[in-house]
Chains A and B, each alone.
Chain A
Amino acid sequence: MTLELSLNQQPAHARQGSSIGQPLTRRDGFLKVTGAARYAADNHPPGMLYAVLAVSSIARGRVASLDVEAAKAHKGVVEVMTPQNRPALAADPDAKDHPFMFRLDLLQNDQVRYPNQSIAVVIAETLEAATEGAALLSPRYEVLPARVGLDGAESFVPRGVGVGGPAVQHKGDVEAGLKSAKTRIEATYETPAQYHNAMEPHAIVVAWDGDTLSIDTPSQGLAMAQGRIAGLFGIAPENVHIRSPFLGGGFGSKGMISGPQILGILAARLVGRPVKLVLRREQMYGPVGHRAPTRQTLRMGMDGEGRLTALDHHAKTTSSTFDDFFEPAADASHTLYASPAIATSHDAVRLDTGTPLFMRAPGEATGSIALESAIDEAAYACGMDPLEFRLRNYAEVEPMTGKPFSSKALRECYRQAAETFGWASRPLQPRLMRDADGFLTGWGMGTATFPAIMFQAEARAVLKADGSGVMETGAQDMGQGAWTAFAQIAADGLGLDIDQVDFRAGSSDLPNAGIAGGSGHTATAGMAIHNAGAAVIARLADLATGDEASPLYGAGNEGVLARGGRLYRRDDESRGESYAEILTRAGLTEIEGHGKGAPDPASQENYAKHAHGAVFAEVKVDPDFGQIRVTRLVGAFAAGRVINPRLVRSQYYGGMIWGVSFALHEEAITDRRSGRIQNANLAEYHVPVNADVPSVEALLVHEDDPHVNALGIKGVGEIGITGTAGAVANAVWHATGVRPRRFPIRIEDLLG
């Protein structure tokens, strides 16, 4: 069952010339505003049963008993899956063959290692029966004390942080730099555990047919999910077909297939019928990852002119007791500010928590709010304007490596955002501005940055004798706009109007598009599409230039242009013919070409590649009650080539509001006695609602980058959080004179 989706139903959009760079509205818009876009949990194969998880209400211990009989006796319950009857797996879910393979809880035993861990699955004819059956299990536990908090266990230095980077790095002599400094600051900041909370809960609808699997589940990495499932069940990857045309948000939590999704597959195996398993919101606070809390200490030294003499950034973080992911928060200090001496280091504790994972700007977001706060403190200590201080310490080469930047329009970002915001009239001292209603008003800024990452991707292009084209790659749209932006790249790559291109994505039977993460999907899969287009056009040009009957005969590949469904001689554009004519004369119904997207090793070696931005924030604080409102945000970002400015702006807006949320809203609170998360729901785990959101402006700063890839694309999905969170914190200081040292900022911290 291949994914059938036609998105060419929208009226033609006004545009000129190429599709790249045009602000097309979303090609999946019609489906999304009519409710016709089918997300994983919207599927309902014939004979489908409902599976509901029972999850642990303790953080550590073992399940002593489950009342399986009571659950099974409930009308409509078909089966209860526990460690006793869970179908066998071909691989140990606790095996870890590579750093991207995360250990899963698949009922392998009766041990509990974090709250909300799956302990049984109830399968029933209706959702109501399965839900009630799960409640009837009434688990009893042998409870062990929970290890909670950044001081909850003995700390150690992890072997690697993030995707395996060194936990400790340095250049120059930080202690000497601090000693020689005229001015020094030292500050410690705490950031909380955060949960992705995509609107769409993790869901899977799965049907077995012999040893083949048909799956609907949201995935930011179809090929990785396919491989992981194949490995666990001992079947060939091509026997696992996953459809993920639309993700209801991912933010990193759907990058790796999670334990509950695999349990859905096991449940279907057990009962021999299709199964739907959807996590309840509170069940998303454990097995699907989170952003780990951090405690970060920064030390900086400055000379008499406000130049950094040393920058030391230490981050303490947490992981689970059974797996490794360490938030690389201190690494944020590698790229932004020039200093002769830089040291970054991490240590960690292991807690009774689900394993933390990638969450939108993992490391960059946490590190940025601490670094940007400390830079603000340093500027004030030197008696300098925070923008002037940042310009004084502007990095002309990547500070940690000394590599030149592939491109860096940060100065222009500072200039445009500062001018639009009106930064020049800001008083240096805090607590000097009030609005007409008497609210304390503060202005703060932060620098945004995120690396320009590429993974590996493939695409397949087809040109047909009717003059139309097909582009296939298993790309994933989680809201960033893959259906639209990739179709734009495909149209240009094929030299066709976008409505002449059938762009296919979102399914694991298509070429591997790599992961939609690390802000690298557009660059990676985009380059695969671009190269596949070039490959098929080259084949077409071969046919034409080698055919005496063609007006292009003898022009040679280099001498041909593809545009609007026709090939032209580069030296004489009056000579050309349509794709359809070339293929028809050659007697071919279609031709195809393949392309890959991958980082260029030489440019990896020679250049530091990052997107940059500057964010300015205004906050208003009630002088009596300490209530904080962000009233204005202006960001300017330079991230290489913009494929679709409408979608890119939306990414920046979303990221910036996540920055506000980081500074003011989000925090998972763990009960110190039980280790349970106390606010595992969308009422008490605060994310911004419409009324929380200020006026937000995002300026797109032009940037040509000849080194990142042939299309010049960096990435825009995550950078908006960085810079913004710190800008809000700095604005709060500027309004109140109180320096926020723990996040989210609390009213009681401001009232002292």
Chain B
Amino acid sequence: MTSLPITLTINGHKHELEVDPRVTLLDLLRERLDLTGTKKGCDRGQCGACTVLVDGKRINSCLALAVSHDGAQVLTIEGVAHGEELHPVQAAFIAHDGFQCGFCTPGQIMSTLGLIAEGQAGDDPERIREGLSGNICRCAAYGGIVEAVLEAQQQLVKADRRTAA
């Protein structure tokens, strides 16, 4: 296959790449850029383990061909914390035991960031459950996930108020 040139900004870093058009965004991240935090659970958009934010929106990176996102801003799990300082969503996942094996966790966290940005779920647990139902957790740490999202949401609202004031 003839490779095509693309540019992606991933976690704030610009990458100029030559990409086989068959390569998914997920495989590009994992197999070429060593950003292996994003996981492959099904490669069919059914499990959500590969969720990343593209231009601020959550997508299944296994269903996205890398070449079709030329110029995009991509945020992966590796770009969420600031060094040792965890994002409130990450800290809340630990505090509420929102995972067991951890394999779906990067996807859950990216999906949570997307959900919060969409501003549709608020602090309604039922809507959070619906909004995160594209991310399967076979360990079934769902209760902890919902608690973590609720807490992180509150923290973020507080932080926003502080910033505004």
Contacts and interface: CB of A to CB of B under 8 A. Distances in A.
Interface of A: 9, 25-26, 28-39, 41-42, 44, 50, 75, 126-128, 132, 197-201, 246-251, 278, 280-281, 478-481, 646-647, 649-651, 653-654, 657-658, 681-683, 687-693, 696
A199 B78 contact: no
Contact of A37 (B47, B80, B102): B102
A248 B142 contact: no
B150 interface: no
Contact of A683 (B30, B44, B129, B137): B44
B141 A650 contact: yes
8 contacts: A29-B94, A35-B35, A41-B36, A132-B22, A280-B43, A479-B99, A654-B141, A682-B41
Contacts of A690: 128-130, 132-133, 135, 137, 142, 145-146
A199 B140 contact: no
Contacts of A30: 86, 94
Interface in B143-158: 143-146
Contacts of B31: 44, 50, 126-127
Interface in B62-95: 76-78, 80-81, 84, 86, 90-91, 93-95
B11 to A, nearest CB: 11
Interface residues of B, number: 61
A34 B141 contact: no
Given A38-B36, A688-B140, A479 B109 contact: no
Q: For the complex of A and B, list the 9 residue pairs with the smallest distance between their C-beta atoms, beginning with the closest.
A: A35-B37, A248-B103, A479-B100, A479-B101, A32-B102, A35-B77, A42-B36, A657-B140, A29-B94
Contacts of A38: 36
A35 B77 CA distance: 6
A691 B127 CA distance: 9
Interface of B: 1, 20, 22-23, 27, 30-31, 34-44, 46-47, 49, 76-78, 80-81, 84, 86, 90-91, 93-95, 97, 99-106, 109, 128-130, 132-146
Nearest to B111: A690
A481 to B, nearest CB: 7
Contacts of B144: 650, 653
A136 to B, nearest CB: 14
B140 A658 contact: yes
A693 B129 contact: yes
A562 B30 CA distance: 47
B133 A479 contact: no
Contacts of B90: 33-34
Nearest to B84: A9
A696 B143 contact: yes
A237 B119 CA distance: 55
Nearest to B107: A199
Nearest to A37: B102
Contacts of A647: 97
Contacts of A199: 39, 41, 47, 49, 101, 103-104, 136-139
B80 A281 contact: no
A407 B130 CA distance: 42
Given A41-B40, A690-B129, A654 B94 contact: no
B102 A479 contact: yes
Nearest to A657: B140
B46 A650 contact: no
Given A35-B106, A281-B46, A654-B141, 5 more contacts: A128-B23, A248-B39, A681-B42, A687-B136, A689-B134
Contacts of A683: 44, 46
Nearest to B128: A690
A692 B106 CA distance: 21
Contacts of A37: 102
A693 B129 CA distance: 8
Contact of B78 (A35, A197, A646): A35
A658 B138 CA distance: 9
B86 A249 contact: no
Nearest to B94: A29
Contacts of B136: 199, 682, 687, 689
Contacts of B43: 280-281
A248 B145 contact: no
Contacts of A198: 101, 103, 138
B75 to A, nearest CB: 12
Contacts of B103: 39, 198-200, 246, 248-249
A696 B143 CA distance: 8
B101 A33 contact: no
A281 B101 contact: no
Given A32-B105, A35-B106, A653 B140 contact: yes
- Interface centre among B37, B102, B145, by most A CB within 10 Å? B102
A691 B140 contact: no
